[in-house]
A and B are shown apart, each in its own frame.
Chain A
Amino acid sequence: DGGITQSPKYLFRKEGQNVTLSCEQNLNHDAMYWYRQDPGQGLRLIYYSQIVNDFQKGDIAEGYSVSREKKESFPLTVTSAQKNPTAFYLCASIPGGTVSNQPQHFGDGTRLSIL
């Protein structure tokens, strides 16, 4: 079955530590996205990538970094510069690199907490 796999499901970060959240999709989608969701709030865009080897900052990119070396993979690193990383992180993808009327497909999310 095709889908988006995020791992781990739960992650704990120590002070000063960088952590990487994995997102893999086997849907052959061109565009991939990372969102952050805080309790009682909507999703906020961190980074997105329309094609391999290219990505753009979203609305809250500070303290985060990404790479897109392969079409199926879009890992997110939460750096020590992100002072409030506790949140639910969602990865999404969509077919086609240009504007599409297809909905974004989401992974099951990673819940990150500070130790």
Chain B
Amino acid sequence: GQNIDQPTEMTATEGAIVQINCTYQTSGFNGLFWYQQHAGEAPTFLSYNVLDGLEEKGRFSSFLSRSKGYSYLLLKELQMKDSASYLCAVRLSGYNKLIFGAGTRLAVHP
């Protein structure tokens, strides 16, 4: 079966750093995506990892360890607008199908 785990909720303070973890157990792996989704809106792409290591994009970074089935999304210099759900999704081998985690709802407080 396919299983992706993320914490349900997190809170953080404006200006701080937060790390959102994602662990996965899937039949095959061909990349991991992070998406941001504001309430009632469509997900928007944040980052993609297919090889082990850290990918940095401005205030957002994502890390992958394929041997551990583990990824994290790091958000720096948090802003109020970062309050949203963050979805981890694994692409299965040989397909363009994505398996999504339930998402982590992040609340940023002043």
A→B interface (CB under 8 Å): 31, 35, 40-45, 48, 50, 58, 88, 90, 94, 96, 98-101, 103-109, 111
List B residues 47-105 near A (Cβ within 8 Å): 48, 50, 87, 89, 91, 94-103
- For B8, list chain A residues within 8 Å (CB): 40
Total count of chain B residues near the partner, CB < 8 A: 27
Q: Is B24 an interface residue (CB 8 A)?
A: no
Asked if A99 contacts B30 (CB within 8 A), the reply is yes
Residues of B near A43 (CB, < 8 A) are 43, 87, 89, 98, 100
Question: Given A42-B87, A43-B87, do A109 and B100 touch, yes or no (CB 8 Å)?
Answer: no
Asked if residues B31 and A101 are in contact (CB atoms below 8 Å), the reply is: yes
Q: Judge whether B43 and A106 touch: CB under 8 Å.
A: yes
